[in-house]
Amino acid sequence: MASGPLAGIRIIEFAGIGPAPFCGMLLADLGADVLRIDRAGAGGGASGLGGTRFAVTERGRRSVALDLKRPEAIEACFKLIEKADALFEGFRPGVMERLGLGPDAALARNPRLVYGRMTGWGQSGPYAAAAGHDMNYIALSGALDAIGTADKPIPPLNLVGDFGGGALYLAFGMLAALLHARTSGEGQVVDCAMSDGAASLMAMFYGFSAAGMWGGGRRGNFLDGGAHFYDSYRCADGKWLAVAAIEPQFYAVLLDKLGVDDPAFAARMDPRAWPQLREKLATVIATRSQGEWTAIFDGSDACVAPILSMAEAPSHPHNVARGTFVECEGVVQPAPAPRFSATPGAIQGPPPANGAHTSEALAEWGLAPAEIDALVA
């Protein structure tokens, strides 16, 4: 029995890569019955990890393998669509229409359906049909230009475009549309472009820029590593500390814990002083190990934290206390988020192998035994 606030919601996922599976993971973690349609005979799974236990973003749903080049499989998809609350896909514009499964056809069979579409550039615009990846999408949003060293932009993994601007916005948009469908009976299309989402994530910084509070180039502003009080520093053992003492009261605690009483640090918000003050902080922090500094700052309001590797993060006491990481089939991975007091989410199951639930899931969703046998054959 699924647990979570979305228990009872039925969602069809057409298997894709990158942010689309991550969106499916988010929905499944919160209890939705996410049924993934895989290509029959395809290997590697949606993530390229072969449907193995390491395909973390594919966890929690069941897999049905269908040959979408056959009309019988398309009709089976429509029968599933008739019983679904939502559907999402991550193909280039026009692919689902060429399969005969575009939103017009799907909504004709189920007018209450929420049809989520995940692309890099969106369903319209001059770039809509072009290939791209996370770095390309955040480049046009202004985000990539703001992140990196003074010498060059550096992509922040694929967190800003794929997962932040893409998967999270698709999940948010689909849930908003589901609420609308519940009250109105009207389904609709959710056009989620990673380039749009990345731009939306930059809202505060566009406000700063318009107010004249941003524009010093990369590492020239107070939230991009330009300020000495918002940067990373190497410790004596080669490990790093994250220092984020923005507000004056936290800045005062930082200097106290560091044992710094240099009057030069009074120029906290003077960008001209930041390079010199950074060097002074770096010299002090380099005198002790990360563990020593962590013990000194632990529990204080200095806004200092150790920068942990992925191997270290799951065993940090705070993460352990909150259960931030869990283990599923021997693979350590992030637990479902966010937390719910009355309907807690949970990992509903390990990543499925391609087609592992074809007969079982199709029967549960109402297809007749003869139809299922024909599809499998």
Q: How confident is the model at residue 216 (pLDDT cuts 50, 70, 90)?
A: confident
Q: What is the pLDDT of residue 46?
A: 54
355 vs 46, which has greater pLDDT?
355
Task: Tell me, yes or no, if 224 is annotated catalytic.
Answer: no
Catalytic-labelled residue, pool 33, 38, 134, 162: 162
Alpha-carbon distance of 106 to 196, in angstroms, equals 25
Mean pLDDT to the nearest integer, 11-36: 96
Ordered alpha helix ranges (H), the chain? 19-29, 71-83, 95-99, 103-109, 134-139, 168-184, 194-201, 203-210, 248-258, 274-285, 290-297, 317-322, 358-364, 369-376
Q: Which two tokens stand for residue 91?
A: 């193909």
User: What average pLDDT is seen over the chain?
Assistant: 95
Over residues 131-144, mean pLDDT: 97
Amino acid at 136: N
Given a cut of 80, whether residue 321 has pLDDT beyond it is yes
Tokens at 87, concatenated: 């559907």
What pLDDT shows up at residue 40?
86
- Confirm if 70 and 60 have CB atoms less than 8 A apart: no
For residue 49, the model assigns a pLDDT of 80
What gap in Å lies between CA 148 and CA 158, rounded to an integer? 14
Does residue 1 register a pLDDT over 80? Answer: no
**pTM (2 d.p.):** 0.95
The full set of domains in the chain, from first to last, is: 10-201+325-376 (3.40.50.10540), 230-315 (3.30.1540.10)
Q: What is the pLDDT of residue 18?
A: 80
- Reported as a pLDDT band with limits 50, 70 and 90, residue 377 is confident
Segment 55-67, tens digit of pLDDT:
999 999 999 999 9
Res 147: pLDDT: 97
Per-residue model confidence (pLDDT) at position 44: 59
Q: How far apart are CA 298 and CA 303, in angstroms?
A: 10
Dihedral pair phi/psi, residue 197, rounded to 5°: -65, -40
- Residue 306 in 3-state DSSP? strand
Residue 371 pLDDT more than 70? yes
Q: For the residues 256-271, what does the mean pLDDT come to?
A: 97
Task: Single out the catalytic residue among 133, 180, 301, 316.
Answer: 133
Q: Place 43 in a pLDDT band, splitting at 50, 70 and 90.
A: low
DSSP 220: -
Give me the DSSP letters along 254-271: HHHHHT---GGGG-TT-T
Residue from 334, 344, 352 nearest 159 by CA: 334
* Residue 186: per-residue pLDDT: 98
pLDDT 10s digits, 322-364: 999 999 999 999 999 999 999 999 999 999 999 999 999 999 9
Residue tagged 């809202």 (tokens): 203
- Predicted local confidence at residue 45, as pLDDT: 55
**pLDDT tens for each residue of 220-234:** 999 999 999 999 999
Task: Give residue 254's pLDDT.
Answer: 98
Q: Is 133 a catalytic residue?
A: yes
CA–CA distance, 35 with 12 (Å, rounded to integer): 5
pLDDT of amino acid 271: 95
Q: How confident is the model at residue 25 (pLDDT cuts 50, 70, 90)?
A: very high
Task: Give the mean pLDDT of 20-42.
Answer: 94
